Structures are given as C-alpha cells and as structure tokens.
C-alpha cells in the first residue's frame, strides 16, 4: 500500500497538470460558438447570375487544353460563367464559358472572388498565395489565396487558385479553437492525430492514477467509518441467528 500511495502521489503531481489542460481546453472547445469556429458567419452564399450561360462549343473548349479532358463543369464565377475543366493529366483549369479562353485566378481575381463572398464590410488587408501546409490551410487543397480583412475578428477567406472557389474562412474564434484542440489531443505539430504514442501513454497513466486512487480510497476506510451503513445489515443477521425460523 505504501508503494501504491507513493506512486499515486508522484503520478498525480505529473499528470495533474495535463488533467487541468484537458479540462480547460475542453471547456474552450465547448464554449466557443460552432458557427464562428467554422467561419460560416463570415461567408455569404454563392450569388446566382441574373443571366444564363451561352457556352462555347466543345471543340473551342478542347483546343487550348493540350490534353484530353475527362471532366467539364459549367459554373457561375462572380460575374461570369466559367468552365472548370479537368484534363487526363489531372490538371484543373478555368475557361471563360462564352469564349473558351483560359484564365487564371491571380491575386486581383482572388480578391474580387473573396470580397463577393465576404459577409463583412471591412477592407482587404492583404492577399497572399499559400502553397505549403499551414495550420489554417492544412485541410485545404493548395495552393490557395489567403485574403485577409481588417475587421475585429481578423477574418481570412481562402480562394482556390485552381478553381476560384472559396474553400473556407478563418477567424480568431477558429484559431483559438484550433489551439485548444492542439492541447486537448496533445498533437503539438500537425494538430490532427488523437491516438499518437504521447496521448496513449498519458491516458494509460491517468487510468492507473484513477485505479490506484480507488484502491487507496477503499484502503483508507475503517470499520467505524461505515458503521452507520452496515449496522442495519448486522442487526438483521443477528436476528436471523437468534431466530432461525
């Protein structure tokens, strides 16, 4: 019992901080508004064009591609109709639906596309191309344009360079939630895995801490501590001994 008590004390000292971090990070994730975390409040629905498409013939669309197309999608893109074309080599390109001419989503167009979907009124603070994985873009198909706005929530909208679609939005609420998630799952690099060796080891340690605490709890009780609880049962057993009928 002395060994269990000693180990329980030191395990509690080491793991107690992590238990506190789990409680605090869990509280943050539960209290932060889900819509703000998802960025839904910052993004408007796709506006529908007031006129229909007059698409170019397929031969005109095929001509500038240089590779067989395997998928063709006609969609509205801000103030015009566009073809989103996927070729046999896996490349995705945009073409003007009326003329069949290819165009790229550059910084200026990304700014326009993001602002058309931005639910706020703040001005654009910066437009930056993100090609590598960051904490904000790790779940997005890259490269993307990061269009940041000078509002109180530091909102940033992300526009795909390949398709021109707004892939999502990040705010201070989503960044705070992401940090809390990192501490909660103890993945301090990718912030994605919740079954890596560190958290498994700590979870096993916490389970042992709870089990040893339960053992010590029962070991700390004396008969006098629970006399009020077992007294009725003892009296009933005594009566049965005196009167076996």
Same domain flag for 21 and 90: no
Same domain flag for 210 and 194: yes
Q: How does pLDDT run across 194-215, given as a tens digit for each residue?
A: 889 999 999 898 888 888 888 8
213-226 per-residue burial string, b: 16 or more CB within 10 A, e: under 16: eeeeeeeeeeeeee
The predicted structure's pLDDT at residue 151: 96
Same domain flag for 118 and 192: no
Same domain flag for 46 and 13: no
Q: At residue 233, does pLDDT exceed 80?
A: no
Q: At residue 181, does pLDDT exceed 70?
A: yes
Greatest extent of the chain over all pairs of C-alpha atoms, in Å: 106
Q: At residue 127, does pLDDT exceed 90?
A: yes
How far is Cα 32 from Cα 36, in angstroms, rounded to an integer? 8
If 0-12 CB within 10 Å is exposed, 13-18 middle and 19+ buried, where does residue 82 land? buried
Q: How does pLDDT run across 3-23, given as a tens digit for each residue?
A: 777 877 777 888 888 999 999
Same domain flag for 190 and 89: no
Domain of residue 183 covers: 2-34+179-224
In a domain, 231, yes or no: no
Same domain flag for 15 and 82: no
Same domain flag for 123 and 29: no
Quote the number of domains for the chain.
2
In a domain, 238, yes or no: no
0.85 exceeded by the pTM?
A: no
């Amino acid at each position: 019992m002395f060994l269990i008590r000693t180990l329980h004390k030191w395990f509690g000292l080491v793991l107690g901080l992590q238990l506190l971090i789990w409680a605090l990070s869990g509280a943050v994730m539960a209290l932060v508004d889900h819509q703000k975390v998802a960025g839904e409040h910052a993004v408007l629905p796709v506006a529908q064009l007031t006129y229909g498409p007059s698409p170019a013939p397929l031969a005109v669309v095929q001509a500038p591609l240089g590779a067989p197309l395997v998928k063709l999608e006609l969609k509205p893109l801000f103030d015009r109709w566009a073809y989103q074309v996927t070729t046999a080599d896996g490349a995705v390109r945009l073409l003007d639906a009326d003329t069949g001419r290819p165009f790229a989503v550059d910084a200026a167009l990304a700014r326009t596309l993001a602002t058309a979907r931005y639910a706020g009124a703040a001005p654009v603070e910066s437009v930056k191309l993100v090609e590598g994985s960051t904490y904000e873009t790790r779940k997005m198909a890259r490269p993307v344009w990061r269009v940041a706005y000078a509002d109180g929530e530091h909102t940033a909208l992300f526009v795909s360079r390949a398709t021109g679609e707004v892939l999502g939005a990040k705010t201070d609420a989503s960044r705070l939630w992401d940090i809390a998630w990192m501490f909660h799952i103890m993945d301090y690099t990718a912030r994605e895995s919740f079954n890596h060796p560190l958290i498994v080891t700590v979870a096993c340690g916490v389970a042992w801490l709870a089990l040893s605490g339960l053992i010590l709890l029962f070991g700390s009780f004396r008969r006098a501590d629970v006399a009020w609880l077992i007294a009725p049962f003892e009296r009933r057993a005594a009566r049965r001994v005196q009167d076996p009928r």
